[in-house]
Structure 1
Amino acid sequence: MKEKLTLMIPGPTPVPERVLNALSKHPIGHRSPEFQSIVKKTTESLKWLHQTDSDVLTITGSGTAAMEAGIINTLSKGDKVICGENGKFGERWVKVAKAYGLNVETVTAKWGEPLDPNQFKKLLDNDEDIRAVILTHSETSTGVINNLKEIASYTKLHKKAITIADCVTSIGACNVPMDEWGIDVIASGSQKGYMIPPGLSFIAMNAKAWEASEKSNLPKFYLDLKAYKKTADKDSNPFTPSVNLYFALEEALKMMQEEGLNSIFNRHKKHMEATQRAIDSIGLKLFASPGFGSPSITSVLTDNIDAEAIRKAVKNNFDILLAGGQDHLKGKIFRIGHLGFINNRDILTAIAAIEASLDQIGKLKSPLGTGVATATKILNQE
């Protein structure tokens, strides 16, 4: 049976029926008291999710819009910045920074390996003119989680630098306590852990980030965060927002609060462990360095098997969509998204589909059902 597509990619992620029902409501005026009430409620819930007392602003745009906004609202042309680069999205922030005339120094790691926090510390200790550390927390392209907590701790000790973090696939899946870790700017997107369709992005700014914004001279108009803050303080938006996505956001955040932050984090951790152990048991390799796999994405290295052939078989046989590798990793890895509205059944179904597809193309190395049995043991643990 076709037209029963299951998304097991890092985004867009599955959308709960409650959220879809909210999304389908008739639009209301975005300057109306009714809509202002929704803005107020969602803003309060976004602060809860970010574990912050600082501002969390909503932009109609993708996660890239939020990251670009974080960069151009806090920095000036010629500023020295450090960009972490160990995947496709780290590369993107380097490109954005250079496009705006920033003086970029990179801390790099091979794709599949985490960034070394000590390299950031060394650069920060030796240059008091650095204005920002820009990095990706959960590198979606490789399934690697970087040590944002430690890196941010070194930035906090610097006189001038702020931390600008891409948390697009970590907010709503991982514990990212903004205030506790001292992160100055956090960007995220709606189609990931938030469990709603693409179209909204979120940017959290603390007092240090707003202080930096007073000195910023980079060009901005639609992404001018001062305009967003001014209207957010009145429970509104500077431009026409995606009204129906706000309906969806309100319902999704309500679901997240019903589940609770710790339960959300524990669920994602268990799904990561079940997926990783299952993949290992069927004879495939994990691409991310041991201990640095993201709770949101598991990347699988297929060695002499064409990863695209596996993805195609899973899609054709089971209508389950897995993500492929990007750039030089195309055909060499596939990625299993397990963030957002994902439950134990989804994990077992994906593993079973991968095993069955490997068996069909004659590449299964272990007895059929090994991966499912391994995942089941993890998922059954209290």
Structure 2
Amino acid sequence: MLKIEPQNLRTPGPTPIPDDIVEAMGTPMINHRGPEFDELIKKCTAQLKQVFMTDNDLFILTASGTGALEAALVNTLSPGDKVVAATAGSFGDRFIDMAEAFGADLTRLDFEWGEPIDPDAIRQSLRDDPEIKAVMVTHNETSTGVTHPLEEIARIAKQEFNKLLLVDAVSSLGCLPLPVDAWDCDLVGTASQKGFMIPPGLAFISVSDRAWEAQKTASMPRFYFDLEEAKRTLERGQTPFTPNVPPCTG
């Protein structure tokens, strides 16, 4: 058996796991189609909604944070949909690469790495092209450590232009204020291994009513990350596919 000495992790993620969480994850495995998991998944979902500060639907996915962001894209957009995306780092770039891979028509706003995104540039792009459907933004850029002004960006996207807002919150949620409902964010994706201080392998995504409306006409291909199926199965205390159970017990 591999013996690993205690680690003093100083990485953005995975982050150190508290001893009580490690102990909780060592409990016996349960049937993910049984009543114990029904209780567990519903409890975890309710608690996550408190962290997200949202009454929106919320789903636990067995994936990395990238899976949550892919779910946000493919459940609300169609190939050819116009999207404005701002980036100032490698993870902002990745979000854009994902959207392009699924056929979105991107207006890309590049900012200097290490500097915050300028919300006025997003405002100008939305003024210039009324056909833009959505705004994509990374709240905290892991590659530089810079937190972008999401509250102001959300106000522009939602209150001024009534656009769909997709947020990468992988390295911010659980660490920085992100009141999802107060800021009117439509889709917010994050993961387990950073601010939540549990092992990698889970992704979390909140979905607004506006996002569900967009889902009705979205035609990007999806199977594993079909949030409509995730919603149906959560109602009966399950997930569409085999879940990563131990981090849930943590």
Q: Provide the aligned C-alpha RMSD in A.
A: 1.2
Pair 1:67-2:69 in alignment = yes
Q: Please, which of 242, 245, 249 is the counterpart of residue 244 of structure 2? A: 242
Please list every run of 5 or more consecutive structure 2 residues that lacks an aligned counterpart in the other structure.
none
Question: What is aligned with 1:123?
Answer: 125
- Is the CA contact (8 Å cut-off) linking 2:116 and 2:148 kept in structure 1? yes
Deviation at 1:158, TM superposition (A): 5.4
Structure 1 residues 173-252: aligned runs within 5 Å? 173-248=175-250
Q: Which residue of 2 aligns with 1:21?
A: 23
Whether contact under 8 Å (2:126, 2:161) holds in the other structure is: no
* Structure number having the greater helix percentage: 1
The count of corresponding residues between Structure 1 and Structure 2 is 247
The structural deviation recorded for 1:13 is 0.1
Q: Give distance in 1, aligned partners of 2:6 and 2:212.
A: 46
Residue aligned with 1:18, SS: helix
Q: What is the Cα deviation at residue 160 of structure 1?
A: 5.5
Is 1:128–1:158's contact at 8 Å kept on the other side of the alignment?
Answer: no
Matched residue SS, 2:133: strand
The equivalent of 1:88 in structure 2 is 90
Residue type of the partner of 1:67? Answer: L
Deviation at 1:161, TM superposition (A): 2.1
Letter in 2 for 1:124: L
Q: Which has the larger radius of gyration?
A: 1
Structure 1 unmatched ranges of 5 or more: 249-382
1:99 Cα deviation from its structure 2 partner: 0.5
SS in 2 for 1:168: coil
CA–CA distance in structure 1, aligned partners of residues 128 and 163 of structure 2 = 13
1:6 to 8, 13, 31: 8
- 1:232 CA displacement: 1.5
Q: State the 1:83 CA deviation.
A: 1.1
Contact 1:153 1:181 in 2 (8 A): yes
Kept after mapping to 2: 8 A contact 1:23/1:244: yes
**Correspondence 1:131-150 to 2 at 5 A:** 131-150=133-152
Letter in 1 for 2:135: V
Choose from 48, 56, 59 the match for 2:58.
56
Which 10-residue stretch deviates more, 227-236 or 81-90? Answer: 227-236
What per-residue deviation string (whole Å, max 9, x for no partner) do you get for residues 346-373 of structure 1? xxxxxxxxxxxxxxxxxxxxxxxxxxxx
How far has the Cα of 1:153 moved from its partner?
0.7
Of 100, 103, 110, 1:101 maps to: 103
Comparing both chains, which one has the higher relative contact order based on Cα–Cα distances under 8 Å and sequence gaps of 6 or more? 2
Does the 8 Å CA contact 1:59/1:201 hold for their aligned counterparts? yes
> Aligned partners of 2:249, 2:100: CA distance in 1, in Å?
36
Q: State the shift of 1:5 in Å.
A: 2.0
Distance in structure 2 (CA, Å) of the matches to 1:231 and 1:73? 16
Provide the residue aligned with 1:166 in structure 2: 168
- One-letter identity of the residue aligned with 1:17: D
